[in-house]
Structure 1
């Protein structure tokens, strides 16, 4: 998405940066892991296909992606400009052409050392605040595998509620309406969003 092409969002533990070509080799390595493929319902791609996907996502007005950097990890070798090492990604998909205020949201913390340290929660809070205040998103939907207890717990903590289950796809759809949350969502305050 062009709106976030030169955008960095900084939190206490994470930095969100646009998904760029320099991130593709590490991202590709992650996505060769069968467990991550299953957790993200993804098919393996060649490195060339991964580069093409990165280019297409950067231009696609219906997708918004940030790489999640762990501020406790060393920066990408040779760059020294990101503010942390790659830990995962967050994505928004605008799937409903008639409702631009609704989006499907995803998160992946791929680096084992970055898990269970609150990075996923902070990344989602920052990303959702950005989506509400910059992209006009008012309702979020997350599709999570029935066996992915960590993600189910995380989204429940953020105020998402189960909306439906699919036995065919073995997934649970959880939803969150930012307009209904009001004061219950402290992350939704625009003054907490540091964008550079």
Structure 2
């Protein structure tokens, strides 16, 4: 194994509602997607494996985002109470929406939406910082307690020129 790459989805705890607008009956579940990549052996670093892995992984996410959200949404609802028909299991659909029991036909959509991608990188790992910056990630804030910088990428990546054609040809 040369290394690994992961996507960690977690709730986005920042305020997402407009103060002057009424709340939607089923507001979206906003999440952030932390992308983490690790090339284990120093002898494998600097040889393009990280770039190739990140490019393929972002194409995979782009192609499979609905399935990824559907899997994530399975954990958003409370498990059914044993033997209580008033609390049936919740279900999710293929658009990444969470359905709550007790609504007409037993479902009420509440979509999962990605706020942004994030990468946390040691402040002195210049090669990794440059790699993520080449994919449109931008540094936010200062070096944190763990001596990491945070880089974020908004969702306009869905139409990036470097991604266009790549998923058609390789994914």
Q: TM-score, normalised by structure 1?
A: 0.48
Q: Secondary structure at the match of 2:141?
A: strand
Question: Is the 1:129–1:188 contact (alpha carbons within 8 Å) kept by the matching residues of 2?
Answer: no
Question: Is the 1:128–1:188 contact (alpha carbons within 8 Å) kept by the matching residues of 2?
Answer: no
Following the alignment from structure 1 to structure 2, what is the Cα–Cα distance between the partners of residues 193 and 177? 24
**2:30 counterpart (99, 103, 109):** 99
More helix by share: 1
Q: Deviations over 1:77-132 (max 9, x none)?
A: xxxxxxxxx100001100116324x3000000112332111110010011111112
Q: Secondary structure at the match of 2:2?
A: strand
Following the alignment from structure 1 to structure 2, what is the Cα–Cα distance between the partners of residues 187 and 117? 24
Aligned-residue offset at 1:187? 6.0
Unaligned runs of 5+ in 1: 1-85
Which residue of the partner structure matches residue 126 of structure 2?
Answer: 149
Following the alignment from structure 2 to structure 1, what is the Cα–Cα distance between the partners of residues 165 and 153? 12
Which residue of the partner structure matches residue 139 of structure 2?
Answer: 162
Question: Is the 1:129–1:187 contact (alpha carbons within 8 Å) kept by the matching residues of 2?
Answer: no
Following the alignment from structure 1 to structure 2, what is the Cα–Cα distance between the partners of residues 187 and 115? 27
Following the alignment from structure 2 to structure 1, what is the Cα–Cα distance between the partners of residues 162 and 152? 14
**1:175 counterpart (135, 138, 152):** 152
**2:60 aligned with 1:130, yes or no?**
yes
Unaligned runs of 5+ in 2: 13-28, 67-113
Larger-Rg structure: 2
Q: TM-score, normalised by structure 2?
A: 0.55
Which residue of the partner structure matches residue 90 of structure 1?
Answer: 5
Question: Is the 2:37–2:50 contact (alpha carbons within 8 Å) kept by the matching residues of 1?
Answer: yes
Which residue of the partner structure matches residue 114 of structure 1?
Answer: 44
Aligned-residue offset at 1:138? 7.1
